[in-house]
Chains A and B, each alone.
Chain A
Amino acid sequence: MTMTEFAASHTATREPILKARNLVKTFGRVVGLDGVSLDLYPGEVLAVIGDNGAGKSTLIKCLTGAEIPDTGELYVSGQQVHFKRPQDARVHGIETVYQNLAVSPALDVASNLFLGREERLPGPLGSLFRMLDTKGMRRKAKEELTRLGISTLQDVTVPVENLSGGQRQAVAVARAAAFGSKVVVLDEPTAALGVRESNQVLQLVRDLRDRGLPVILISHNMPHVFDVADRIHIQRLGKCAATITPQSHSMTDAVAIMTGAAKA
């Protein structure tokens, strides 16, 4: 298979951080995934594209624990894993930003970054009275945003609903990328955004990659995919039709492979 050869030459020496082998997922008589393999290497942006019903979201759900594959193996840093629910994937450092933005609008930026993993004050105030370390979390939130290079969020005490769409997306991405995660999965991160804001989010994706954090990007938007992706995994009819790079193929080629008009 040309695509595996190509991937091998592209990243011959490195161990994939996330590795999927022959994933199969059926829904009754409908085959969602028909033996799909995928490798994600450190410090790369891997885009997953495909037409509706090509198995794109089923693949992502299997990688992030939202669905359990019927057969096939998953490895994180070389170790085999079995995800039963999204929390399992999160424990292994795979964080997902969902299309519908899993942020709580009324809570502020810092609270959203720490939602579900709040930190308590040290000493009896924290252990006995269970008081939150609000100041500490705000400080850490700021540090984390600076580390990730997210400059659009200056004030971490602003409720998320007061932010623009791009800034909200930045909050969601920051939460996924923060606190030692290994892989960030972004599901259609620019779908609801304007031009300027899309560019901010794409820049954020590049920044994450430059800091060594690999990103899986699911998108319908070809210019965005070709803008940021290092490699592009094309799903077609439940299988991986090809894995290409923006250098090896043009957008037209990608669409042709996606729709079956051309072979990889």
Chain B
Amino acid sequence: MTQQQTAGPPSAGHADLAEEFLDRRTPLSRIRNILHRYPALSPAIVLLIAVVVFGILNERFLRVENLSLITQQVAVVGTLAIAQTLIILTAGIDLSVGAVMILSSMVIAQLAVSNGIPGPLALIAGLAVGLAAGALNGFLVTRFRLPPFIVTLGTLNIFVALTLLYSGGSTVRGSAMPPVLTWLGSTFPIGPVRISTGVVMMILLYVVVAFILGKTAWGRHVYAVGDDKEAARLAGIPVNRVLMSVYLAAGAVLAVGAWIQIGRTNAASPNAGVDLNLDSITAVVIGGTSLFGGRGSIWGSLLGALIVGIFRNGLSLAGLDVLYQTLAVGILIIVAVSIDQWIRKVKS
């Protein structure tokens, strides 16, 4: 490197050489490059450490029933995190995910219970609500070029109000609903373990979305739009159509989330899940997806949701107060975003 510097006047070319030099040689930057290439790797490491530490702290933690409980607790947030990941990958953010899910769940439950509509039709109506909400968000983001943060801050309030207006503020109990609506709350045994159908549904969604993001042109365009919107447009990608489809897809995922939520809580309550939007963002961010868009992995979000679930569960098993769980999650978020910033420095 000293040779490079003495060989001639400093120029962009030399600075670039030096950059390459640094990136190849120091072990730290090598780690950074690997983390950069596989965004789900850092949350996977955190998850592993958390499992080991909590396993040592409390022998009940690693019991099958406890692990099964954690996955069930994570099912709803994990599903919302899928929708959130799609939108964050396009450099957006969706504050309305929880509100959309609750609105959808209230429509499903009310139609089935108060209007006597068959369960499957009520579920389709719930899907329509999710898609309509996504269409509204997408329309405002693409046509009026409003920042997604502002759009979804507005629609969050609109959807919360609509939910209360529609439901009259009353909760619908699961016992009154047709069985298909609470089906995702049921469990089935595999050996000694009881598996929740809601968790299976969530994992199924992850598999489908991971396939679409990783293996199709649409998935690649989602990343490209989030990475550099202008570059994507110049490459001939219909940016607005991609954005619109992302918000629609997110809406559909949220409707499935509504179904899982009804099963999980065995009820549809208009007051549930007010801070699920922040929980889903937390999962995505801890999962290594960049808030600046274009970089991240859908599996990272599942890991992120699991990490939050494991921290809450492990800390409460260790006998710590709830406030320490909240404290831990807060620290996790800051650490995750700091790591993301550091990893992004690979860009010279």
Contacts and interface: CB of A to CB of B under 8 A. Distances in A.
A29 interface: no
Contacts of A101: 231
Interface residues of B, number: 34
Contact of B234 (A98, A164, A165, A193): A98
Nearest to A130: B216
A107 B14 contact: no
A149 interface: no
A115 B232 contact: yes
A107 B216 contact: no
Contacts of B191: none
Contact of B215 (A132, A159, A162): A132
A96 B228 CA distance: 17
A203 to B, nearest CB: 15
A41 B36 CA distance: 45
Interface in B215-265: 215-218, 220-221, 223-224, 227-228, 230-232, 234-237
Contact of B236 (A87, A100, A159, A161): A87
A106 interface: yes
Interface in A72-124: 86-87, 90, 96, 98, 100-107, 111-112, 115-118, 120
A90 B234 CA distance: 11
A195 interface: yes
Given A161-B346, A165-B16, A194-B14, A104 B216 contact: no
Contact of A132 (B23, B220, B228): B220
Interface residues of A, number: 37
A194 B220 contact: no
B237 A116 contact: yes
Contacts of A132: 215-217, 220
B347 A105 contact: yes
Nearest to A157: B37
A106 B36 CA distance: 9
B20 A164 contact: yes
Contacts of A193: 12-13
A105 B228 contact: yes
Contacts of B36: 159
Interface string A157-190: 0010110110000000001000000000000000
Given A130-B218, A131-B216, A132-B220, A194 B227 contact: no
B37 to A, nearest CB: 7
A195 B13 contact: yes
A90 B221 CA distance: 19
A118 B234 contact: no
A161 B33 CA distance: 11
A67 interface: no
B105 to A, nearest CB: 31
A193 B348 CA distance: 13
B346 A162 contact: yes
A115 B228 CA distance: 12
A134 B217 CA distance: 10
A159 B37 contact: yes
Pick the most buried of A96, A104, A130: most chain B CB atoms within 10 A of its CB. Answer: A104
A197 B33 contact: no
A196 B346 contact: no
Nearest to B238: A116
A102 B217 contact: no
Interface of B: 11-16, 20, 23, 33, 36-37, 211, 215-218, 220-221, 223-224, 227-228, 230-232, 234-237, 294-295, 346-348
9 contacts: A105-B227, A106-B227, A115-B232, A129-B216, A131-B216, A132-B216, A161-B348, A164-B16, A165-B16
